[in-house]
Amino acid sequence: MRTTARWAATLGLTATAVCAPLAGPAVATPSAPTSLYAPSALVLTVGHGESAAQVSPARAVTLNCAPSASGTHPAPARACAELRAAGGDLDALAGSSDTLCTKQYAPVVITVDGVWQGKRLSYERTFANECVKNAGGSSVFAF
């Protein structure tokens, strides 16, 4: 009798476990946008040479400008402000006019890849040397 009762209890628990409604598989729900701002996230690299295709990056930083300035860039708030003022046009960034640089040719190449205000951005620029890069690119390229 004990064996029959134990068997009936085991069978009942098994039936409950097998026949009970199962939770369905986790369904991914579309995530709502986390911000009202278009994304502005960039990766900037610097390398020594004449083109990005010929050099390996020596340094790389990230720069996020929306909704607020952040990233590994040493001055993200100032860099984002300069990019906004230039309308995201990296060629339009004004450099320091009072900086004097030597004419030594030691090329430095900057690349910028990512998204600026929701639009894909890919940029490459070669400067004659590190001094010209820092003077010509304002704080955006100073990393």
Cα separation, 86 vs 27, whole angstroms: 43
pLDDT one-digit tens code per residue, 64-113: 998 889 999 999 999 999 999 999 999 888 665 677 888 899 999 999 99
Contacts of 104 (CB under 8 A, 6+ apart): 128, 129
Q: What mean pLDDT value characterizes the chain?
A: 78
pLDDT one-digit tens code per residue, 105-129: 999 999 999 999 889 999 999 989 9
Question: Position of tokens 């009202």?
Answer: 36
CATH fold, domain 41-136, is Subtilisin Inhibitor (3.30.350)
Cα separation, 121 vs 83, whole angstroms: 13
What pTM does this model have? 0.69
